[in-house]
Amino acid sequence: MNKSGFRCDACGYQSPRWLGRCPACGSWDSFVVVKGSSTCRERRTAASLQTLGQVVEEEVRLPVGIGEFDRVLGGGIVPGSLILIGGDPGIGKSTLLLQVARSLGEEGPVLYVTGEESVRQVSLRARRLGAGREQVYVAAETDLEAIGQYVDQVKPRALIVDSIQTMVSPRVEAVPGSVAQVRECAAEFQQLAKTRELPVFLIGHVTKEGFLAGPRLLEHLVDVVLYLEGDRHYNYRILRGVKNRFGATNEIGVFEMTAEGMVEVPNPSLMFLGKREEAKVGSVVVPVLQGTRPLLVEVQALVCPNPYGVPRRMAAGFDANRAALLIAVLDKKVGLKLGGCDIYINAVGGVKILEPAADLAVAVAVASSYREAPVSPGTVVVGEVGLTGEVRSVNALDLRLREAAKLGFGRAVIAAGQGPGNYLETEEVSTLAAAIEAVLGG
């Protein structure tokens, strides 16, 4: 039995009749018709039940052939997974996925569906990237039923949709990109992926606030959420895993945007560090973990007097609230008079530091700039700072120090009790004041 109903285009609230105002979110004139479908009883199939022991235990992954991309996915694509990739306009999402299609097309057919560009435009980009001989089929289509027919015809090993906001389901009477259409299209792509064991890549638009456009349900529906980050004025791009049901989250892959497309960066630490041949004031290197990968990042701080009123506190690549906490600890526990100073903090290279292990490096960088005392270029600093001024230990210290030793660093300032390092000289400190004296001297 088929029934039709109405759904709020703003929040997804469903009603059997049309309403002028949504009782859930308060939106006016937001209800659209949703064509009915079979009831749950009619849709049920006699699926066989299995115990967990009967399920195949061997993990099957499909390597993309792009090392940084495979790293973020956890080793490759899991068959039947639904992968969402978001990023600012022009950041390189379509370029990256076209390279993925080229790599996968060497082993079998790949279907690339574009709803924003013509087939000719996609072909021109593919020619620039060196693609064309692979089995990459392209279709300029937005209707889900037509895409399903293409899948039946091509039988691809992967499906790429650019983008989810342009797709239209005939079951929903709403404009493309609306909440109802995005939700319904994503659900149908999920059904397609699971029933056919077909990996599906969805490109998603990003709002001005930096979040994926569309309903929040979209991120819960997919298996993997990736963000392509970076400044459009620079060549480096960071592919960050935000959600991954099959691997580690917050894993990153680093690429360089060139005329030939995205090129992998084999050693991202060198990119984030730059040249460090002499001691610098307000510059400290910290080994951070991005997923399972250790990265050496240069943290810079600038402290200058502000005689005009309320001082400014700005942070790029580091949490501003965390920075304010560290500044308060420096003022209260170390005795630095920072109340009348402008303070600027920056993580070089556009990387975002998301873990508290960089607390000590940020605090030492601020103290270095305030005292005009340089930091030795061969020293790394790592540790979490508490409100009482104590320095706490961090996880995976051995992995961090090994990466520092590989890049020529010879000394590390760490929290007390973590033991001597196996790769370089370590100095243990228990308080923030002791760490500052150890790095900057008396």
Please check whether residue 54 lies inside any domain of the structure. Answer: no
**93 marked as binding residue:** yes
Torsion angle of the four alpha carbons 204, 207, 211, 213, in this order, in degrees rounded to the nearest 10:
-50
Task: Judge if 9 and 96 occupy the same domain.
Answer: no
**Within-domain flag for 380:** yes
At 264-290, the pLDDT tens digits run 998 888 877 866 778 899 999 999 998
Quote the pLDDT of residue 1: 43
Average pLDDT, the chain: 88
> Which of 219, 234, 264 is where one domain is finished?
264
pTM of the model: 0.80
User: Annotated binding residue at 65?
Assistant: no
Q: What is the pLDDT along the chain (442 residues), one digit of tens a residue?
A: 455 688 777 677 888 888 889 888 788 887 877 765 443 344 444 456 778 777 766 678 999 999 999 999 999 999 999 999 998 888 999 999 999 999 999 999 999 999 999 999 999 998 888 876 679 999 999 999 999 999 999 999 999 999 999 999 998 888 888 888 888 899 999 999 999 999 999 999 877 666 666 656 788 889 999 999 887 667 889 999 999 999 888 889 999 999 889 999 988 888 778 667 788 999 999 999 988 889 999 999 999 998 888 899 999 999 999 999 999 999 999 999 999 999 999 998 878 898 999 999 999 999 999 999 999 999 999 999 999 999 999 999 999 999 999 999 999 999 998 877 778 899 999 999 999 999 998 5
Same structural domain, 342 and 382: yes
Q: How many CB atoms lie within 10 A of CB 239?
A: 26
Same domain, 258 and 340: no
Q: The tokens 């039709």 sit on which residue?
A: 4
Mark whether 181 and 219 lie in a shared domain.
yes
Phi, psi of 421 (to 5 degrees): -80, 150
Phi, psi of 290 (to 5 degrees): -115, 95
pLDDT at 248: 85
- CA-CA distance, 404 to 406, in Å (whole number)? 5
Q: Is 87 annotated as a binding residue?
A: yes
CATH number at residue 216: 3.40.50.300
Q: Consult the annotation and say whether 291 binds a ligand.
A: no
With pLDDT > 90 as the criterion, what percentage of the chain qualifies?
A: 60
Tally of structural domains, the chain: 3
H or E element in which residue 299 lies: strand 293-305
Asked if 371 and 355 sit in the same domain, the reply is yes
CA distance 345 to 330: 14
Q: What is the domain range of residue 141?
A: 60-264
The answer to whether 89 is a known ligand-binding residue is yes
Q: Is 26 annotated among the ligand-binding residues?
A: no
- Between CA 143 and CA 113 the distance in angstroms is 10
332 is in an annotated binding site: no
88 marked ligand binding residue: yes
CATH number (domain holding residue 380): 3.30.230.10
